[in-house]
A and B are shown apart, each in its own frame.
Chain A
Amino acid sequence: MAERASTAAKESARVIRDLHARMVRIRLFETEAGKLMEAGKLPGFLHLYVGQEAVAAGVMAALRDDDQITSTHRGHGHAVAKGVGFREMYAELYGRVTGACLGRGGSMHINDVTLGMLGANGIVGAGIPIAVGAAFAARYKGEDSVAVTFFGDGATNIGSFHEAANMAAVLGLPVVFVCENNGYAEFTPQSRHMLLTDVADRAAAYGMPSVIVDGMDAVAVHRAAVDAVERARAGKGPMFIEAKTYRYYDHQGVKGLRHPYRSDEEVAEWKARDPIDLIETRAVADGTVTRAELDDVWQRTRDDIADAIAYAEASPLPDPADLLLNVYSG
C-alpha cells in the first residue's frame, strides 16, 4: 500500500512564494485562455488545468531546468510551471508563427526543450514511456537530471503506463511518475474505470514505492516531489506520486455539458479547498507573506498576461508556403 503523506507543516517563505507565484500564473493563464476560447479567438481544443495547480507547482518547484518532464493533453499548467513563456504559449494557442510550436502544434503540443519541457501530448499515456527514454538518456550521458512524467487517473488504464512503469523500475531509471488523480477519465468517474480507490496501489505491481498526497495542497505535493526527485537523482530508481486533485472545468473547453456527469455539490466541495486560497490563507495567517505581497503577484501576472495576449494577437500567422517545414530533419 502507498504511504500517505502527512499534512504539511510550515514551509520556508521562499518556497511558499515560489509555489504561490507558479499557481497564480497557471490560474490566470488558463482562465484567460478560457475567455479567449469563449470569445471565438482560439481555434482547436482547450483542456484547462484550473483546480490542479498545486500539482504542477509543487512538482516543478522541486526540479532543475535540466530535469525533463512529459505532459498530457491538459498540459498548460505543466508548461507554465516549468517556465515556458506566456508569449509563446498564447501565440501558439492563437496559431501564430511566433508560438511555441511555430503554430504547428497548438495547445496539445506546447514544449520548450531548453527548459526540459518535452511536450504536452495528445495521446493519453504516450508521454510516460518518453519520460523513461529521457531518464535513460540522462543516465547514459552520466548526467544527474531526472525525468518526471505527468498523467491522469485515466491514463493508468492504458498499456503504455504499465509497460513504462515496469521498464523504468527494471532498468532502475530516474523517473518520477506523477498521477494527477482528478477523479475523472474525461467524463467517466474513477469508480467506473477502475476498482481501486488509490491509483498509487498500481505502483506496487512494479516494485515501485509510492506516496499519496493532497493534490490541493502545493506544499504537500512539493515535499513528496522533493523526496521522490532526490531519490531518483541518487540513483535509487523510480517512484510514484498520486496527487488527489480536481478539475474545475470540463474535460475540454469551458462550458458544461448538457448531460451532467458530476454534482454541483461535488464541485463546490472541491472548490472550497481551492489550492491557491489554501496557500494564501495559510501563509497570511502564519505571517509568511502579507496580503499586499500576494495581491502584487496577481497584478504582475495579469500584466504579463495582457502583454502576452497583445503579443500573440499582433503576431503574424504562419505562411502556408512553409507548411512542410520540419516534417523531416535535414
Chain B
Amino acid sequence: MTPMTSVTEAPAAAPDRTARKLTYVKAFNEGLAQAMREDENVFVAGEDVAGYGGVFRMFDNLLDEFGPRRMIDTPISEAALVGLGVGAAARGLRPVVDLMFMDFIGVCLDQIVNQAAKMKYMFGGAVSVPLTITTASGAGLGAAAQHSQSLEAWLAHVPGLKVVMPCDAYTAKGLTVSAIRDDNPVVVMLNKVLLGSTSEVPEEIYGIPLGRAHTARHGSDVTVVALGRMVGEALAAADELAGEGVEIEVIDPRTVQPLDTETLVASVRRTNRVLVVHEAVTFGGLGAEIAAHIQDEAFDHLDAPVLRIGAPFSPVPFSPVLEKAYVPDRARIAEGCRRLLERS
C-alpha cells in the first residue's frame, strides 16, 4: 500500500535554507509561535509550559506574547491533558499539548490511542481531531530508563495517528508547523540531545510535507535509513566512509507514520544494500517494518540482507558508559555499512 501523504502541507515554494542558524529548540519555538500567529485556534497546554516556559525552554516567551488564554499550565494529569486536547480539537480548536518526556505517554495512552486516533473513524468521519502532541524523546543525557525512550514504534502502529521525528533545527520547525496545520492527531518527537544543535532555519513560517522522506545525502553503495538523531550519526558515518571510497545514501523518513516507503524502496533499488538505524530497541522497531517493505518490494535488488541497528533489548541504562554502549552511533553505522559491502 502506498503511504498516505498529506496534501495540505507542501509550501508553495521551496523555503530559503540559506538563512541564519538557530538551535533545534529555538527553531521549534519559532515555528510554534508563528503557527499561533497564523491561527487563532492554536493554543498550548501542558505542565510548566506557560509560566516556566517548558523544562527544555521549548515554550520560552510564548506566555508574554500570547497570554494565559493561549498558554495554559495544567496539573500533572496527562490523561486529562490529552483528553482536553481531544475534546477541544473535536470542537474546532488546534491544541498543542506537551507531554514533556515521551516516557510519560504510558499514563495517557488511552486518550491518544483509543480517543484521538480513532474518533474520526469511529464517528463515521463526523469530526476531525487536529491535535498536536509534543514530547521530548531519546537517550544520551543520563536520564535513565523512564526519561530516555524512543517509542515511535508504539505510535506508528496505531491507525489514525501521525508521528514525526525531527532530526535537526530545520525539520524541528517545519515538521512542527505541519503537525499543527494537519487535521489529524500528530505526535512530534523532539530529541533531547539535539535541543541545542544548530542548523540553518528560514525566518518565515514553512511546513515540511508529512509522509515524505528526505534524502539527506546521495550515494550509490549503501542506503542508510535513519530516524531522528540517527540522521546526524548516519551523515557522520557517511563522511567517514567517503574517505574509504564508499558512497552512502542517507534517507531521513522524517515522518514514520505515514511512512514514505516509495522513496526508501527506490533508493534500495539503486544501492542494493540497506541499513536501518534507530535509537529504539531493535525488536519490533521501525527497522523491522522498513525491512519488511523492502523485501516485499525490492527483494530481487538486494545484494545482502537488510541490516537493522538499534538499541539492545534492555531498558535505557543510567551509567554513561552503559548508555554509550546502548545507543547506536556513527561507528556502529559505519561498521554496519562495511559488513554489508563485504557480502556479494
Contact = CB atoms under 8 A, between A and B. Distances in A.
Contact of B87 (A104, A129, A141, A328): A129
A85 interface: no
A101 interface: yes
Contacts of B77: 163-164, 166-167
Contact of A119 (B69, B93, B122): B122
Contacts of B63: none
Contacts of B93: 136-137, 140-141
Contacts of A135: 87
Contacts of B182: 329-330
A121 B258 CA distance: 26
Contacts of B72: 171
Interface residues of A, number: 47
A273 B129 CA distance: 42
A169 to B, nearest CB: 10
Contacts of A176: none
Name the residue among B95, B124, B162 with the largest chain A CB count within 10 angstroms: B124
Contact of B90 (A128, A133, A160, A167): A133
Given A119-B123, A325-B125, A167 B87 contact: no
Interface in B93-122: 93, 95, 107, 110-111, 114-115, 119-122
Contacts of B138: none
A111 interface: yes
B83 A328 contact: no
Contacts of A137: 87-88, 91-93
A278 interface: no
B184 interface: yes
A122 B119 CA distance: 11
A135 B107 CA distance: 23
Interface string B209-234: 00000000000000000000000000
A113 B81 contact: no
Contact of A118 (B7, B82, B90): B90
B183 interface: yes
Interface of B: 4, 6-8, 43, 69, 72, 74-75, 77-93, 95, 107, 110-111, 114-115, 119-130, 159-160, 162, 182-184
Given A113-B126, A133-B91, 13 more contacts: A99-B124, A103-B124, A113-B127, A126-B83, A137-B88, A163-B80, A163-B81, A164-B83, A166-B75, A171-B72, A329-B130, A330-B7, A330-B182
Nearest 7 pairs of A and B residues by beta carbon: A133-B87, A129-B83, A102-B124, A163-B80, A137-B91, A163-B77, A329-B183
